[in-house]
Amino acid sequence: MNPDPHDLSALEKALGHRFACRGLLEQALTHASYARERESQNAAEGFPAAAADNEQMEFLGDAVLGFVVSRELFQGFPEYQEGELSKLRAHLVSASHLLRPARELELGQYLRLGRGEERSGGRSKVTLLVDALEAVIAALFLDAGLDVAHRFIQQSILEPGLAEVHQDGSSKLPVIDYKSALQEAVHASGRSQPRYVLIKEEGPDHRKVFTMEAQVPAAPNGDKGFARRAQGNTKKLAEQRAARAAWDFLQSLKRGPEAEDTDPPSDFSPPS
Annotate the chain with DSSP letters as a single string: -PPPTT-THHHHHHHT---SSHHHHHHHTB-HHHHHHHHHHHHHTT-------SHHHHHHHHHHHHHHHHHHHHHH-TTS-HHHHHHHHHHHTSHHHHHHHHHHTTHHHH-B--HHHHHTTGGG-HHHHHHHHHHHHHHHHHHH-HHHHHHHHIIIIIHHHHHHHTTT--SSPPPS-HHHHHHHHHHHTTPPPPEEEEEEEES-GGG-EEEEEEEEPPPTTSPPPEEEEEEESSHHHHHHHHHHHHHHHHHHHHH-TTS--SSPPEE-----
Q: Which of 37, 53, 131, 134 is catalytic?
A: 134
Q: Which of 62, 117, 213, 239 is catalytic?
A: 62
**Residue 84 annotated in active site:** no
**Residue 104 annotated in active site:** no
C-alpha 156/C-alpha 7 separation (Å) is 22
Question: Which residues are catalytic, by number?
Answer: 62, 134
